[in-house]
Amino acid sequence: MGNVATLQKKPGPESGVERLAGLVADDMRRVNELILSRTGSDVKLIPEVASHLIESGGKRLRPMLTLAAAQMFGYGGEGHIRLAASVEFMHTATLLHDDVVDESDMRRGKAAARMVWGNEASVLVGDFLLGQAFKMMVEVGSLPALDVLSDAAAVIAEGEVMQLVTAQNTATTEDEYLAVIRAKTAALFAAACEVGAIVAGQGVEQRRALGSYGANLGLAFQLIDDALDYSGVQADLGKRVGDDFRDGKITLPVLLAYRRGDEEERAFWTRCLRDRASGEADLDRAIALMVEHRALEDTVARARHYGAMARDALGTLPKSEHRTALLEVVDFCVNRGF
Amino acid sequence: MGNVATLQKKPGPESGVERLAGLVADDMRRVNELILSRTGSDVKLIPEVASHLIESGGKRLRPMLTLAAAQMFGYGGEGHIRLAASVEFMHTATLLHDDVVDESDMRRGKAAARMVWGNEASVLVGDFLLGQAFKMMVEVGSLPALDVLSDAAAVIAEGEVMQLVTAQNTATTEDEYLAVIRAKTAALFAAACEVGAIVAGQGVEQRRALGSYGANLGLAFQLIDDALDYSGVQADLGKRVGDDFRDGKITLPVLLAYRRGDEEERAFWTRCLRDRASGEADLDRAIALMVEHRALEDTVARARHYGAMARDALGTLPKSEHRTALLEVVDFCVNRGF
């Protein structure tokens, strides 16, 4: 499945997120400088842990969305730089905390920070980054932007707790799973986009359009991530195929295969995921069951639904190269690896 | 589009909701008796108004769902009859109030109650039915069922207010519209199913599975209703094609056509729906624009997504004729008229 991507990928700067990256390149350089300067601390452990993750080459999709959302309305100020950095810090803090909760070993193809510096350092540096994120938001001085981002921070934390409670429960319904990823992933994508419109002085209609775009893009993004974990090409992932499985994560492909399977298959899923007693042969069987029950295919179909919603959300915004770039991001998200 | 349905419809008792209707037929007779006895009142206006709507031949899909959900777990008690009648009363009350708010003239192919007895009577008889619904729920004596149904009643009312606030706003996002129909339609479908499992003494997993089935079925049902309003065959609808349009209702086909249209088209939608200044030629243009922008097609595609979620929600429940019937209801909902 994975290598179909290479065939489908269009060449040139129009493909994937390159148009978006090009449009925000100058601002993004300033965001990166700000990120580096804001991870500085006399407490050496902080820049060490933070840089480990921040410099490990994430796509920085979320801050790019903030920058593009501000630029598309011709914003000429400075606030979007700090808001974009805040968004990336919130994301990084979540990753640090997630890896502790999930007991993950790897992140973006490297050892997870907690494997190098321990769980305590990961938790506390995550808190530090959250604190820095709030400081930067406050510096921008926009109460509506603060409102949206602080709300997202609360929702994300709520989502983490929700996930902890439903974790390893293979009987989780799709709606419950959607509620978790709406909180954990979609809320920050939505906020990232909406604060761009806010800082650019846009009204409620533009704010909502971008928030809706971001939320649905986030859902599509996460669902494709879920599917790629069982079908992706290693190199495209920054993580190994099957990491979610080994971590006992309940994701949509698992939910669908579990629900569509018979009793014996459900016992298999429960043993592997709830009891976390799985080996490499189990991963092969898991993938085979997903193929048999079309669980990966239908996860991608679900993602395409949210992708379609994201696209339509942008419909009322004026046509611009930025809007085109945001539409291409949806295509990139739903097509990567498939 | 509409007459394709006749070709696709399979003959025999397996098609549509007939299997479901057959399974619950005995119980449904008792629900109907209860409904009739509970609309009785010395205040003559009450049975008159209530019967006008109740006897006008709705499908009674919601109470059938409650009965089937209880029966599928082998429930042998009496509580599901009252709960099913409560659900139908809640639905009827909503219709009475909706027609007042929407200033609708017609309902199920007849004059709306408010056209015969006036707005005041419609509002008050709706309240009477809600009161009866609560009385019957309390008589069943299940606090968890009361919890679910009273929560649904509150959510429905919240949805009505939400709709009032967003009404006639063509710039409503799809997410906002979904929030409205989740509250107005999906919440009662979900509760109808969940209370069946509750009264049958089922645990949280079965409750959630049925609740999730109901919610997604409700979304699919409503979206197909939205599409049929612009494409259905008159006789299948119980209302005239274009009623939503004439009432200035913002539904998903409108939202999609609006978002995908140009400035001139948006001005057209705004004039017709917000300003409610439309004639029959406008309806033709509205349908033409929807066809051009694939708004009806994509509304059906969105509905199919929720239908697929509803189907998978039932996956963990034991195989039975009731489960098969519920799965057929999904097919019926998403295929009717298309």
Residue of A169, A172, A173 to mutate, testing the B interface (most B Cβ within 10 Å of its Cβ): A173
Q: Do A316 and B171 touch (CB under 8 A)?
A: yes
Q: Does A110 touch chain B (CB under 8 A)?
A: no
Residue type, B306: Y
Give the pLDDT score at B65. 98
Q: Does A302 touch chain B (CB under 8 A)?
A: yes
Q: Which among A156-170, A297-311, B14-28, B149-163 has the top mean pLDDT?
A: A297-311
What kind of architecture, by CATH, is found in domain B13-335?
A: Orthogonal Bundle (1.10)
Tokens of B235: 């006789």
Give the pLDDT score at B304. 97
Tokens of A109: 């193809």
H/E stretch holding A106? strand A106-107
Q: Does A202 touch chain B (CB under 8 A)?
A: no
Q: What secondary structure does DSSP assign to A168-186, as a single string?
A: T-TT--HHHHHHHHIIIII
A259 CB neighbours in chain B (<8 A) are 312-313, 315-316
CB A300 within 8 A of CB A336: no
pLDDT per residue as tens digits for the range B221-243: 999 999 999 986 555 555 678 88
Q: Does A256 touch chain B (CB under 8 A)?
A: yes
Mean pLDDT computed over A7-22: 65
Question: How many Cβ atoms from other residues are within 10 Å of residue B294's Cβ?
Answer: 15
Closest by Cβ to A176, choosing from B208, B255, B308:
B208
Is A127 a residue whose pLDDT tops 90? Answer: yes
Measured between CA atoms, the residue of chain A closest to residue B309 is: A174
Which positions ≥6 away from B282 have C-beta within 8 Å? B245, B268, B272
Give the pLDDT score at A163. 86
CB A72 within 8 A of CB A320: yes
Residue B10 CA neighbour count, 13 Å, CB half:
12
Is A53 a residue whose pLDDT tops 90? Answer: no
H/E stretch holding A111? strand A110-111
d(CA B189, CA B61): 9
Measured between CA atoms, the residue of chain A closest to residue B314 is: A259
d(CA A18, CA A331): 12
Give the pLDDT score at A1. 37
CB pairs under 8 A between A and B: 69
Q: Does B203 touch chain A (CB under 8 A)?
A: no
Measured between CA atoms, the residue of chain A closest to residue B255 is: A312
Domain ranges of chain A: 15-335
Q: Does B258 touch chain A (CB under 8 A)?
A: yes
CB B140 within 8 A of CB B83: yes
Give the pLDDT score at A2. 39
Q: Do A205 and B309 touch (CB under 8 A)?
A: no
Counting every residue written for chain A, the total comes to 338
Q: Do A173 and B313 touch (CB under 8 A)?
A: yes
Class of the A15-335 domain? mainly alpha
Q: Does B204 touch chain A (CB under 8 A)?
A: no
CB A17 within 8 A of CB A10: no
A208 CB neighbours in chain B (<8 A) are 173, 175-176
Residue of A162, A312, A319 to mutate, testing the B interface (most B Cβ within 10 Å of its Cβ): A312
Closest by Cβ to B173, choosing from A171, A173, A208:
A208
A209 CB neighbours in chain B (<8 A) are 173
Mean pLDDT computed over A296-315: 97
Q: Do A171 and B205 touch (CB under 8 A)?
A: yes
Is A295 a residue whose pLDDT tops 80? Answer: yes
pLDDT per residue as tens digits for the range B140-171: 999 999 999 999 999 999 999 988 887 778 88
Give the pLDDT score at A239. 62
* Range from A124-128, A192-196, A334-338 carrying the lowest mean pLDDT: A334-338
ipTM for the whole complex: 0.81
Extract the residue ranges of chain B whose pLDDT is less than 70: 1-15, 232-239, 337-338
Give the pLDDT score at A191. 98
Question: How many Cβ atoms from other residues are within 10 Å of residue B279's Cβ?
Answer: 10
Is A94 a residue whose pLDDT tops 90? Answer: yes
Q: What secondary structure does DSSP assign to B96-150, as a single string?
A: HHHHHHHT-SEETTEE-HHHHH-HHHHHHHHHHHHHHHHHHHHHHT-HHHHHHHH
A174 CB neighbours in chain B (<8 A) are 212, 309, 312-313
Q: Which of residues 309-328 of B touch A (CB under 8 A)?
A: 309, 312-313, 315-316
Q: Does B17 touch chain A (CB under 8 A)?
A: no
Which positions ≥6 away from A263 have C-beta within 8 Å? none
Q: Do A305 and B309 touch (CB under 8 A)?
A: no
Mean pLDDT computed over A143-167: 91
For residue A107, give the 3-state DSSP assignment. strand
pLDDT per residue as tens digits for the range A209-265: 999 999 999 999 999 999 999 986 555 555 678 888 988 889 999 999 999 999 999
d(CA A327, CA A334): 11
Of residues A147 and A50, more confidently modeled: A147
For residue B27, give the 3-state DSSP assignment. helix
Q: Do B216 and A308 touch (CB under 8 A)?
A: no
Give the pLDDT score at B3. 37
Closest by Cβ to B259, choosing from A176, A305, A316:
A316
Measured between CA atoms, the residue of chain A closest to residue B266 is: A316
d(CA B276, CA A238): 54
Q: Does A267 touch chain B (CB under 8 A)?
A: no
Give the pLDDT score at A274. 84
Residue type, B183: A
